[in-house]
Amino acid sequence: MTEVITMSGNGPLPKDPSQRRRRNADPTATTVLPANGPDTPTPDLPGEHYDLRTVAWYETWRRSPQAATFLPTDWQRLHMLAELVQQYWEEPRKELLAEVRLNEASLGGTAADRMRLRWTVAEPEEPVARRTTSRSRAASSRRDRVLKVVDGPAEG
């Protein structure tokens, strides 16, 4: 008798996709964001009255993968949001933080927000020389393990 052990709350394992009756395609495509952020110029933060923390916050958004999808209205929202971030640094209040979080969510601020928006971030591109080295090292390591087993002394 085989005993099936499951962790409480997780339920049974899902079926293999080939065994499913319904194989509906996802009606909404996923957008892949570039790992290195936008490849076009992005607007500077207007004004000069910002705290260094607000400027750092804006620069993070400006270089983020999400910024590659921003339209002028998104940049306008981010500029308005910078004012709230600045107010938060001057006088931290949970209401300000809640408003910042809500607006950042609409721009894909967290991993959960990006999942909801069906955005994924591409893997960063490695330099060709580095990719070749890591692959050849992995291949030679595997080859060494296989050859050790195959070339081992024959048992009679």
* Residue pLDDT, tens place only, 111-138: 999 999 889 898 887 765 555 555 555 5
Q: Tell me the helices (H) and strands (E) count for the chain, helix number first.
A: 5, 2
Burial class of residue 88, CB neighbours in 10 A (0-12, 13-18, 19+): buried
Greater confidence (136 vs 63) lies with 63
The mean-pLDDT minimum among 29-43, 86-100, 130-144 falls in 130-144
